[in-house]
Structure 1
Amino acid sequence: MTQRLPHTARSLAADLRALGLAPGDTVLVHSSLRAIGFVAGLAQAVVQALLDVLGPAGTLVVPTHTTFNSDPAGWRNPPVPPEWWPVIREQSPGFDPARTPSWWVGTLPEIVRKWPGALRSDHPQMSFAAVGAQAGTVVRDHRLEEGLGEASPLGAIYRLRGRVLLIGCSHDRNTSLHLAECRQDRPVMTDYGAAVCLPGGASRWVTWTAPLADSSDFAKLGGAYEESGALAVGMVGDAVARLMPQRELVDFATAWIRCFR
């Protein structure tokens, strides 16, 4: 069924306010633009709606991950021949926060990444971009071995008592749940690799060890969290949206993973 009128930045802002998003909030957004429906101005209008609601004291955060910049030995979709691996490691352009596009995180993060005044963390795989009053606090000091841990934008949002907003997507895309994995007493560790950009434009392959990011049970975890009632559910355009306090979410997830994994 065709929607009666196009959604607009103004109508989406009204939906976001009705959901509970407020001026001054720091909010990490995961979204499906397709689920929202037709918007006059497309993704740009969605970002504008978020910023209009947050106001000058608020901060919009999005994942700008670049998981293609990883060790080809672990690629499965699709795999590449072993004889390609050294070429990819040695010849891939290093991650550059200003130039390297995000990948597999949707259209909206790319719009935010390029927004005037946006800042981006410098992690070669798990970067985040932010616009607003707390952008510098959110993206700075993103340590290589802390892609989704305490010394990452996720940890910064936790300390800022920020919020998580899922628009038209489920908890399997709720990146904050990875912070709970990193907080386990004995997290499962794995090796990572990526190309990083050096001063002057050359690149270098680096490796590090960090907790394994495993979202396979996040839908179940998110469902258990929702039973606690500590979130707001409503419509943003045609999409079901969920707004929740990130600190309470991560605390719940930390305990849940300890018990059920």
Structure 2
Amino acid sequence: MCAVTQHLLLGGECTATQLSELGVRRGGVLLVHASMRSAGGDTGSMTGALRRALGPEGTLVVPAFTTENSDTSRSYLDRVRGLSDEARAELRASMPAFDPAASPAPTMGALAETVRLTPGALRSTHPQTSFAALGPAAAALLAGHSQDCHLGEESPLARLYEADAQVLLLGTGFDRCTAFHLAEYRRPDPPRRRYRCVVASEDGRRWWEYEDVALDDSDFAPLGEDFARVRPRAVSTGRVRSARSHLFRLRAAVDFAEEWLGLRRSEGR
């Protein structure tokens, strides 16, 4: 482990070394979920450290999800609980239309926003569950994100699976592991629901409604705990700056989750 002082620990070079020691593959593809509050330091140096660990041939990917433009999202339903019909209508009218070039993703955390705003970053076009990426594989990973497929076979998650990407939970738990959602799509006849959000179009602001798999992350924490327990050699755990972090292959996580969800959810949990 490099440097023992807190000052050096927060330095970009030391952080890159920590990432490499954890197992981040140089030249690989890395999907990151991060809590900078847990890690400490600034997002710019963390982004730089991740890119140094990956090297010039590597690609960094982050979620750039938006719930602010949907009236079927959990956050919207929480906001309108107890409001009058008039207040709900006013809130819907004020909701920002999704624009992949400009819409922020505040709920994804400071690191994801820093990556999204870095010159050269690309973003997929799904109005609710877009991803942003930096690196030579970014365009191929983000292309073809169908607007009625959040996180399934026509999303960047499937491309990350094909690319044998790694996942880094930097100061976050398995409850934040987006990769597990791909396993939901791969279950036989997964439950589906309606979604609705407001998007930008040539004719201005309009609402877009579609059907997709009913996403459910309520059991992702115990799913991840079982993954780490049953497949201990598949999960590398260590410190990145001040944050306890987990690194693993996305394929291994999705394959495990597909079997786990098939057993647990069929039993009604």
TM-score (norm 2): 0.90
Specify the alignment match of 2:17 in structure 1: 14
Aligned positions of 1:1-261 closer than 5 A = 4-5=6-7, 7-37=10-40, 39=41, 42-71=42-71, 75-79=76-80, 80-89=83-92, 92-199=95-202, 202-227=204-229, 228-229=231-232, 230-261=234-265
Give percent identity, aligned residues only.
Answer: 39
Equivalent residues of 1:25, 1:58 under 8 A apart: yes
| Partners of 1:72 and 1:85 within 8 A in 2 | no
Gaps of 5+ in 2: none
* Alpha-carbon distance in structure 2 between the residues aligned to 1:168 and 1:81: 39
Give the conservation status (yes or no) of the 8 Å contact 1:73–1:85.
Answer: no
TM-superposed CA distance for 1:72, in Å, is 5.6
Distance in 1 of aligned mates of 2:243 and 2:126: 31
Alpha-carbon distance, 1:203 to partner: 1.5
| Structure 1 SS opposite 2:168 | strand
Please tell me the root mean square deviation across aligned C-alpha atoms, in Å: 1.7
Moved more, 123-132 or 136-145: 136-145
Other structure's SS at 2:77 match: coil
In 1, Cα distance between equivalents of 2:117 and 2:19:
22
Counterpart residue type for residue 95 of structure 1: F
Contact 1:73 1:82 in 2 (8 A): no
* Contact 1:16–1:50 (8 Å) recurs in 2: yes
Tell whether the 8 Å contact from 2:69 to 2:96 is kept in structure 1 after alignment.
Answer: no
**Secondary structure of 2:257's partner?**
helix
Secondary structure, aligned partner of 1:5: helix
The CA deviation at 1:91 is 5.3
Counterparts of 1:174 and 1:110, CA distance in 2: 18
Distance 1:11 1:81, change over 3 A: farther
8 A contact 2:39–2:243 mirrored in 1: yes
How many residues were matched structurally?
Answer: 255
CA 1:73–1:167: 2 relative to 1, 3 Å: closer
Mapped to 2, the partners of 1:171 and 1:225 lie a distance apart of: 9
AA in 2 matched with 1:144: Q
1:4, CA displacement in angstroms? 3.4
Distance 1:251 1:212 in 2: 19
1: CA distance, partners of 2:95 / 2:171: 34
Contact 2:68 2:95 in 1 (8 A): no
Letter in 1 for 2:179: S
The answer on whether the counterparts of 1:68 and 1:103 sit within 8 Å (CA) in structure 2 is no
Compare 89-98 and 163-172 and name the one that shifted more: 89-98
CA-CA distance at 1:92 after TM superposition: 3.5
